[in-house]
Amino acid sequence: MEIFVELSVIIVIAMFVSLLMRALKQPLIVGYIFTGILVGPYFLNLIQNGDVIELFSKIGITILLFIVGLNLSPNVIREVGKVSLLTGIGQVLFTSIIGFFIATALGIDRIAAIYVAIALTFSSTIIILKLLSDKGDLNKLYGKIAIGFLLVQDIVATLILLFTSSFAGGEGSVLFIALMTVIKGSLLILTMVAISHYILPQISTFIAASQELLFLFSLSWGLGIAALFSLLGFSVEIGALVAGVALSMTPYAIEVASRMRPLRDFFILLFFILLGSHMVFENIFALIIPAILLSLFVLIGNPIIVVILMNVLGYSKRTGYQAGLTVAQISEFSLILATLGFEFGHISREILSLITFVGLITIAGSTYLILYSDEIYPYVEKFLSFLEIYKNGNKRNKNKGYNSILFGYQRVGQDFIEAFNRLDLAYIVVDFNPESIKKLEEEEIPFKYGDAKDPEFLTELDFKNLRYMVSTIPEFETNLVLVRRIRAKNKRAIMIVISHDREEALALYAEGASYVIMPHYLGAQYAVRLIGRAGLDRREYDMHREKHLAHLEKRIA
Q: What is the pLDDT of residues 255-292, one digit of tens each?
A: 888 888 889 889 999 999 999 998 888 778 888 999 99
Q: What is the pTM of this model?
A: 0.77
Query: Using N-to-C axis directions, what is the helix angle for 211-231 and 236-248, rounded to 10°?
Result: 140
- pLDDT more than 90, % of the chain: 41
CATH topology assigned to domain 397-517: Rossmann fold (3.40.50)
Pick from 7, 94, 14, 109: nearest CA to 52? 7
List all residues 6 or more positions away from 526 whose beta carbon is below 8 Å from its beta carbon.
none
- Give the Cα separation of 297 and 329 in Å (integer): 10
For the cut 50, the answer to whether the pLDDT of residue 64 exceeds it is yes
Angle at 363 between CA 24 and CA 13, to 5 degrees: 55
Tell me the mean pLDDT in the region 386-408: 73
Pick from 503, 504, 470, 507: nearest CA to 486? 470
pLDDT band at 394 (very low <50, low <70, confident <90, very high): very low
Q: Are 434 and 396 in contact (CB under 8 A)?
A: no
φ and ψ of 262, to 5 deg? -60, -40
For the cut 70, the answer to whether the pLDDT of residue 94 exceeds it is yes
DSSP secondary structure code for residue 305 in this structure? H
Q: Are 214 and 259 in contact (CB under 8 A)?
A: yes
Beta strand 404-407 pairing with 515-517: unpaired
pLDDT digits (tens, 9 = 90+) for 126-184: 889 888 877 878 777 788 888 888 888 888 888 888 777 666 555 555 566 667 767 77
DSSP secondary structure code for residue 395 in this structure? G
| E strands present in 412-505 | 427-431, 447-449, 468-471, 494-498
List all residues 6 or more positions away from 555 whose beta carbon is below 8 Å from its beta carbon.
414
**The length of the chain, given as a count of residues:** 557
β partners of residue 470: 406, 496
Query: Using N-to-C axis directions, what is the helix angle for 110-121 and 141-165, rounded to 10°?
Result: 150
Q: Are 13 and 39 in contact (CB under 8 A)?
A: yes
pLDDT at 557: 57
Compute the 3-state secondary structure of the chain and give helix, strand, coil in percent, each to the nearest 5: 70, 5, 25
* Type of residue at 553: E
pLDDT band at 520 (very low <50, low <70, confident <90, very high): confident
DSSP secondary structure code for residue 297 in this structure? I
Pick from 243, 205, 203: nearest CA to 224? 243
For the cut 80, the answer to whether the pLDDT of residue 104 exceeds it is yes
Count of CB atoms situated within 10 Å of the CB of 329: 31
pLDDT at 299: 96
Check residues 504 and 395 and name the one with the higher pLDDT: 504
pLDDT at 358: 95
pLDDT at 327: 95
Count of CB atoms situated within 10 Å of the CB of 323: 30
Mean pLDDT of the chain: 86
pLDDT at 391: 66
Pick from 90, 98, 92: nearest CA to 123? 92
Tell me the mean pLDDT in the region 463-492: 92
pLDDT band at 18 (very low <50, low <70, confident <90, very high): very high
* CA distances (Å), origin 432, targets 141, 290, 452: 6, 40, 9
| E strands present in 99-161 | none
pLDDT band at 319 (very low <50, low <70, confident <90, very high): confident
- Give the Cα separation of 485 and 505 in Å (integer): 17
pLDDT band at 305 (very low <50, low <70, confident <90, very high): very high
CATH topology assigned to domain 3-386: Na+/H+ antiporter like fold (1.20.1530)
Q: Are 318 and 456 in contact (CB under 8 A)?
A: yes
Over the Cα atoms of the chain, what is R_g?
27
Burial of 507 per CB tally in 10 Å (0-12, 13-18, 19+)? middle
- Give the Cα separation of 238 and 475 in Å (integer): 41
- Give the Cα separation of 119 and 335 in Å (integer): 7
Q: Which 3 state secondary structure label does DSSP give 447?
A: strand
pLDDT at 304: 96
Angle at 36 between CA 33 and CA 37, to 5 degrees: 95
Tell me the mean pLDDT in the region 339-366: 92
- Give the Cα separation of 29 and 403 in Å (integer): 51
List all residues 6 or more positions away from 419 whose beta carbon is below 8 Å from its beta carbon.
none
Q: Where are the domains of the chain?
A: 3-386, 397-517
- Give the Cα separation of 77 and 60 in Å (integer): 27
- Give the Cα separation of 255 and 261 in Å (integer): 10
- Give the Cα separation of 235 and 164 in Å (integer): 9
